[in-house]
Amino acid sequence: MPRKLLLPYKSVFSRFRAPGGLHDSLAMNAARSGYRVFSANSTAACTELAKRITERLGAELGKSVVYQETNGETRVEIKESVRGQDIFIIQTIPRDVNTAVMELLIMAYALKTSCARNIIGVIPYFPYSKQSKMRKRGSIVCKLLASMLAKAGLTHIITMDLHQKEIQGFFSFPVDNLRASPFLLQYIQEEIPDYRNAVIVAKSPDAAKRAQSYAERLRLGLAVIHGEAQCTEQDMDDGRHSPPMVKNATVHPGLELPLMMAKEKPPITVVGDVGGRIAIIVDDIIDDVESFVAAAEILKERGAYKIFVMATHGLLSADAPRLIEESSIDEVVVTNTVPHEVQKLQCPKIKTVDISLILSEAIRRIHNGESMAYLFRNITVDD
């Protein structure tokens, strides 16, 4: 049989170097590879943060359409090629949380099926973060959401000030939990006159670590409110009494467990001196403001002459603007992780700190494969 003629290696692939061949195609794909930034919500209030981020990056917002059908279903259409690119989806969470979650999931899946190389979710306020512990016969919804995001195609998440840092362990991919405290500390130093005469206040023992971190960085005093007016997550029933006790239940002979004494909170007290000072209450989320209003009243009674509330996420649900306006609180300072323009119109006491700078820098560093350590300088576990 005649032998087959084997062409030299260069000869075999030389035809691919011709114009329009494989070599040129690879070069074109390499040139096109980059990153795009999309907003998973089309409303003006929710795209505001996305526009600020893209302006800092010197990029344009990706072309997409996100809308709800007449029957309530969410539809997402990507209007440009994303093949082989790093895609960043910015999703700020409005009042309709469940719709926002579906928008994010559907957009991530649409980008996955469009052959995006990496899909990174930029979710400044992570929804359902308060449901990260087992309660009675409930479920850990935050873990469920993490699994759904992974299944939809997300490969990385950028978020800010998770309600519980342990939430990062729910994900099967990297999570960068950025901090807003540098921006809020800067606001205190630049916008609060005579802040040296201030004291940092934790409205419950649960917030003491965060308050201590602020106090140490500003070289200020610390006060903690403790007593029966406070209702913390740790006091909620976590299901360890399940199943409920049954009368005349059979007990193993000789088994006598020690009886757990019921909790009884002491009268409301303020641990620390706030008399004649500015009180700055710090927390991660301000949603239902009743506890903040109650704390402000107590601080006023103890002699504080001005009261500020600082929080990363200003959800400000229900009648929060009205309650703040009618309260002893002088100013509420939150970041723009959550859109709250309507609440600001209802209550001029609400002020906003822009955090688009750190989010845009995180996007740039992730795309370029640079270290994120710079964004966590001097950040400790308690921050």
Q: Are residues 154 and 122 in the same domain?
A: yes
Residue 238 lies in a domain: no
Residue 241 lies in a domain: no
Summarised one tens digit per residue, pLDDT across range 186-196 is 999 999 999 99
Q: Are residues 152 and 67 in the same domain?
A: yes
Summarised one tens digit per residue, pLDDT across range 50-105 is 999 999 999 999 999 999 999 989 999 999 999 999 999 999 988 889 999 999 99
Higher pLDDT, 256 or 373: 373
Q: Which pLDDT belongs to residue 26?
A: 32
Question: How is residue 33 annotated by DSSP?
Answer: -
Q: Are residues 205 and 339 in the same domain?
A: yes
Mean pLDDT over each residue of the chain, to the nearest integer: 86
Residue 305 lies in a domain: yes
Estimate to the nearest angstrom the gap between the alpha carbon of 332 and the chain centroid: 19
CATH no. for residue 137? 3.40.50.2020
For range 339-361, the mean pLDDT:
94
Q: Which pLDDT belongs to residue 308?
A: 98
Q: Are residues 91 and 111 in the same domain?
A: yes
Dihedral (CA of 19, 23, 27, 29) sign: positive
Domain containing residue 50: 36-178
Among residues 146, 192, 148, the alpha carbon closest in space to that of 170 is found at 146
Q: What is the CA radius of gyration of the chain?
A: 26
Task: Please check the confidence at residue 345 and state whether its pLDDT lies above 80.
Answer: yes
Q: Are residues 125 and 57 in the same domain?
A: yes
Residue 22 lies in a domain: no
Q: Are residues 167 and 185 in the same domain?
A: no
Q: Are residues 208 and 114 in the same domain?
A: no
- 351-366 CB burial, b ≥16 within 10 A, e <16: ebbebbebbbbbbebb
Residue 107 lies in a domain: yes
Q: Which pLDDT belongs to residue 267?
A: 79
Instruction: Extract the tokens encoding 62.
Output: 């990706």
Calculate the CA dihedral of residues 342, 344, 347, 349 and round it to 10 degrees: 170
Contact 293, 141 (CB under 8 A): no
Summarised one tens digit per residue, pLDDT across range 98-145 is 999 999 999 999 999 999 999 999 999 999 999 998 888 889 999 999
Q: Are residues 65 and 108 in the same domain?
A: yes
Residue 42: CB atoms within 10 A of its CB come to 14
Residue 167 lies in a domain: yes
Q: Which pLDDT belongs to residue 84?
A: 94
The angle, 0 to 180 degrees and rounded to 10, between the axes of the packed helices 208-218 and 181-191 is 50
Three-state SS at 336: strand
Q: Are residues 110 and 146 in the same domain?
A: yes
Task: Please check the confidence at residue 149 and state whether its pLDDT lies above 90.
Answer: yes
**How many whole angstroms separate alpha carbon 49 and alpha carbon 56?**
11
Q: Are residues 213 and 194 in the same domain?
A: yes
**How many whole angstroms separate alpha carbon 205 and alpha carbon 380?**
19
Q: Are residues 98 and 146 in the same domain?
A: yes
| Predicted model pTM | 0.83
Residue 9 lies in a domain: no
Q: Are residues 135 and 196 in the same domain?
A: no
Summarised one tens digit per residue, pLDDT across range 6-52 is 444 344 334 334 444 434 433 333 334 589 999 998 788 889 999 99
Summarised one tens digit per residue, pLDDT across range 238-285 is 555 555 555 555 556 667 778 777 777 777 889 999 999 999 999 999
Q: Domain count of the chain?
A: 2
Three-state SS at 51: helix
Task: Please check the confidence at residue 2 and state whether its pLDDT lies above 70.
Answer: no
